[in-house]
A and B are shown apart, each in its own frame.
Chain A
């Protein structure tokens, strides 16, 4: 009896693993990769034969998985590309060390403890959760390891009062600044959207630190000054299956712009509710830069048409840029199989072609530049978090990947400060439809809407 049970259990375990999607992309041989013309600082030391490790941790398997699984692929590909083509960091090869928190902040704490206690201590780390960064804010400063953060959380970057610049540096603009930029654009170009009535924003965002970061006193006042009304905010957990009722409440309050601070399934959920209610022509859907992503397109399909928001980087289809050419080529070579017949493998490759994969290249590029500058400053043997921090804090301005993303930090700036407005569009091209994020204007300096920021309205 017991033996039977054991045997059954083991067979069950073994057999169930058979039941799965055939998801295996066979990798083709790399074609000739390309080289970016860099503004790279010359390196004073030769570190050939050594390795430097790029530490990153965050949610790889929880609610952010859609965004972050491609990030893993992106970081690996970017490191391989820079190692092979650009000689890594002063000749030293870059290794990627990743930690998966699964969305748990306890795990984030554990990873911080683990990585920050390594010997030698990491010079710089990469994180991508607002909540993780807020949680670890004080400890990051204490352990003196600067962190590059793929989130625009004001609390993590500037503290509770808005005037305590942290050891955290965001690779995207503050979410408040993004909304401010959006309001600037709407104030000038509202007519072009062809929607009845004056613009009124209603927030329909994820519950939690990230989702609540756009709607602040500062952004409300800033947008109000530009003649944009405010209909309130509804927050839903990522576990919500349908947001129709929440949408109804906002519409009932007069909203005709639905702004979402969420990602992947979040914007898709909102878009589906709008499409279900047949409100596409009466409501403009907008969001942070994470809403302008292929992960949203993949989930929402045509529902995503027209989502508008601030985009601080170049998009995949701007292929006249050398950096984008490299990234596109790396993706095509490593993940996309043009001749492949495997539907599932192609779908996975398309899922990888998203924001996170795109951003990992400029991030690694900026990392190399940072390390190079710091090595020139203090020498490789004395390299530590303090040295990196001085570079970042003392005014770091770098146009990564030939202009894909411009990093600009100084003693008072902890986030990207320029951006433009992008919109998800479905272009009819020969052979089918090409979903893209099209820029609607040129890069501008964003308003500074942190607590007590320069552009806040009294």
Chain B
């Protein structure tokens, strides 16, 4: 059976490529999801998504692979304080806060019973106490996990994840606050250019801090695969170098670095009898696929069943109308950017566990290849963005088999894109839009 062929390539190879493509497509779908959510929430097509992935991956690496860096934690605390402070003070922390004495009906406020003062303050700032509590709880939980992770060496993945989530939420909020909010109501073109500018800024910061080197997140090494529970130091061995000094001559010198065990074998599906060879599943793509599906389900539920999700959808539909019925557009925007930054970080981390690690040449450009997937769904539909991701993944891998890699990366996704644009400019499954003068 092994000699089955499909258009000149062995059947096994084609099946393997399709499976690789579907798995890779899961990652693409996750990226596409992030782009669609931003577009739905704020009507901005986010060209900076790739760089947000890159930054998230690097922050994960920083907490995962290193002694915890106090400076990084310090800056995250500072930025959070700034953001929370600016939010509470109605984003006017340079302004003098207004006196808190006008509400005489409650009686207590005059004398400044602290609890009541806070409540009144929140009321004036239109902060819903319940929702604020949830937000505070999430933040506190993340911080708690991070702190516990910092104290305990064995849970580096959790530590990395908590750090990356906090870091990317902060990045998302900062982007929204500094660059997107001033552009509310400005032309679409300006917003597109702004996301390009954000990309440049993130690129600059990440390069200055982490330099041009690739950072590998070695979660899926052979060592981790065989003994997941034993921690880090038992089976890997010290990196020894020979050095020479004039007084002591040649000698072996143990270093702080270790020699890792290398990549873990892929998962296998026993298909030797059927196809002639086993099918292989890349570990990081399998995990990426399930995480992508999980994220996808979570957000579908969020948009469908929570008030905040519904409000965000309404805001996406028409910002002015949403504002006029009392929805807090700015809050929606902030939440959307924070969520998407986390999604981007997840995608960046998954990519970082693969062959090249969090590489400046690899991660940011991945988002560009996903744009056609987003377009398949017409920039609106989360479901079809998911499907688009899978399609692009399969197309890419099959192109590698039948043509070559360059064609798969530079040509195939964009030919799909052009075809989609020619057939249905609003995306194959997007809503038709009617413009009015």
List chain A positions with a Cβ less than 8 A from chain B: 1-5, 7-9, 11-13, 15-22, 31-34, 61-63, 65-66, 69, 207, 234-246, 248-249, 252, 264-265, 268-269, 271-273, 275-278, 299-305, 316-317, 319, 324-325, 328-329, 331-333, 336, 338, 340-344, 346-347, 350-351, 353, 426, 429-435
Contact = CB atoms under 8 A, between A and B. Distances in A.
B110 interface: no
A234 B403 CA distance: 10
A302 B361 contact: no
Contact of A434 (B13, B79, B242): B242
Nearest to A340: B256
B71 A19 contact: yes
Contacts of A238: 361-362
B361 A350 contact: no
18 contacts: A3-B94, A8-B82, A11-B82, A20-B72, A63-B361, A236-B406, A242-B354, A244-B266, A252-B10, A272-B262, A302-B222, A332-B245, A430-B252, A431-B238, A431-B254, A434-B240, A434-B242, A434-B252
Nearest to B264: A276
Contacts of A434: 239-242, 252
B246 A17 contact: no
Query: Ordered nearest first, which 7 A-B pairs have the shortest CB separation?
Result: A432-B238, A302-B262, A301-B260, A65-B212, A303-B262, A20-B209, A18-B75
B255 A236 contact: no
A346 to B, nearest CB: 4
Contacts of A207: 405-406
B82 A276 contact: no
Contact of B259 (A13, A235, A301): A301
A347 B61 CA distance: 15
Contacts of A246: 400, 405
B254 A4 contact: no
Nearest to B92: A4
Contact of B242 (A272, A299, A328): A328
Given A275-B263, A276-B266, A301-B262, A325 B405 contact: no
B351 to A, nearest CB: 6
Contacts of B117: none
Given A5-B177, A244-B280, A434-B240, 5 more contacts: A8-B82, A69-B211, A252-B13, A338-B243, A350-B239
B237 interface: yes
A65 B242 CA distance: 25
A432 B266 contact: no
B68 to A, nearest CB: 10
Contacts of A316: 241-242
Contact of A343 (B17, B257, B262): B257
A312 B59 CA distance: 40
A62 B225 CA distance: 33
A32 B265 contact: no
Nearest to B254: A431
A69 B12 CA distance: 43
A329 B244 contact: yes
A368 B351 CA distance: 46
Contact of B356 (A18, A61, A265, A324): A265
A299 B406 CA distance: 24
Nearest to A350: B257
A210 to B, nearest CB: 15
Contact of A21 (B12, B76, B94, B210): B210
B149 to A, nearest CB: 17
B246 A33 contact: yes
Contacts of B178: 5, 8-9, 12
B319 interface: no
B406 A235 contact: yes
B362 A240 contact: yes
B351 A241 contact: yes
Nearest to B59: A19
A325 B244 contact: yes
B355 A236 contact: no
Interface string B145-188: 00000000000000000000001000000100110001000000
Given A61-B212, A276-B264, A432 B239 contact: yes
Contact of B240 (A265, A275, A331, A431): A431
Interface in B390-420: 397, 400-401, 404-406, 409-410
B71 A20 contact: yes
Interface stretch (B96-104, B213-221, B377-385, B424-432): B213-221
Given A319-B244, A434-B241, A7 B20 contact: no
B91 interface: yes
B113 to A, nearest CB: 31
A275 B362 contact: no
B269 to A, nearest CB: 13
A244 B357 contact: no
B208 A17 contact: yes
B401 A245 contact: yes
A5 B92 CA distance: 10
Given A20-B71, A22-B69, A63-B361, A4 B86 contact: yes
Given A5-B182, A32-B246, A433-B237, A239 B409 contact: yes
B67 to A, nearest CB: 6
Given A4-B92, A249-B13, A249-B401, A347 B257 contact: yes
